[in-house]
Amino acid sequence: MDAQFIFIFLLTLLASGIGAVAGFGTSTIMVPSMLIFFPLPETLLFVGIVHWFGNIWKMLLFREGLRWRLILAAGIPGTIASFIGASLSLNMSKELMLKVLGVVLICYVLLLQFRPCCKIPEKDSTAIAGGTSYGFLAGLLGIGGEVRSAFLSAFDLDKAVYIATAGAIALIIDSSRIVAYMAGGTSLSPVMLSGLLAFVLASFMGSVAGRKVVNRIPQERFRTVVSGFIFLAGMRLALFS
């Protein structure tokens, strides 16, 4: 069996499991790892497809938590911003932007530590702002779930609502950026294309495993767990981008 196939399968399995627990992380883990072997355009398209399926699994596995008003308020403007970001993505240097994003995420987590009861109102305006920011970064950098998770965790939602809503918003936005990548002439490498069904299966297996972990986390500790993942992602982006 091809070594690249095994690498992608295991990477997808791991990243999807973490993504199901944290509500983000699939792209954060997969994009820099895939760039070791594949060009950026192919990596962004492939990870976008895996992420798209992963979001379907989140919606199905945590469907009792879907919050459609919040989903549409964040998803619709995020879709437009994602298409714009994806259209710009192939012609920009991303290292500085990733470092800045990392610092912002670290500051956000520190704010939660000093003000653990901090919660922003769950209003359309805040959902629109968060969705737009996430969509643009997802399209531009292939990574934006940390921003989506930051604004959703600021609402202090029930864990099922948080994960299902995060998945639905990302699904809408991923659809836009995948179309933008393909419209720009990007296509999958032979190993990605030939193993796509297996990689989709790996994303499902990882999501199911992640759901079992989520069910074991008490609701009162869930926001802290998510903040920990955001902090680690911020550190990685700030120090190693």
Mean pLDDT by 10 residues, the chain (241 residues): 86 90 80 84 89 91 88 86 76 68 78 67 79 79 72 79 86 82 86 92 93 87 80 80 64
11: in domain: no
DSSP string, 122-151: --HHHHHHHHHHHHHHHHHHS--HHHHHHH
Dihedral of the alpha carbons of 160, 132, 180, 47, in degrees to the nearest 10:
-40
Residue 89 pLDDT: 65
9 within a domain of the structure (yes/no): no
pLDDT at 119: 63
Per-residue pLDDT at 53 = 93
pTM: 0.75
Is residue 19 included in any domain, yes or no?
A: no
Q: How many CB atoms lie within 10 A of CB 194?
A: 12
Is the CB of residue 222 less than 8 Å from the CB of residue 152? no
At 219, list the tokens: 């609701």
Structural domain range at position 191: 25-32+40-240
State the pLDDT at residue 170. 82
Closest listed residue to residue 27, CA positions, set 144, 181, 162: 144
Structure-derived torsion over alpha carbons of residues 43, 39, 136, 120, reported in degrees to the nearest 10: 60
Is 14 a domain residue? no
pLDDT for residue 229: 81
95 occurs within a structural domain:
yes
- Residue 111 located in a structural domain: yes
- What is the structure's pLDDT at 142? 65
Q: Which pLDDT value is given to residue 93?
A: 61
- Considering its fold, how many domains does the chain have in total? 1
- In terms of phi and psi (left: phi > 0; alpha: psi -120 to 50; beta: otherwise), the region of 167 is alpha
Task: Enumerate helices (H) and strands (E) in the chain, giving the number of each.
Answer: 11, 0
Is residue 1 assigned to a domain?
no
Residues 6+ apart with CB under 8 A from 36: none
The answer to whether residue 124 is domain-embedded is yes
CB 23 within 8 A of CB 169: no
Axis-axis angle for helices 26-34, 40-61 (nearest 10): 160
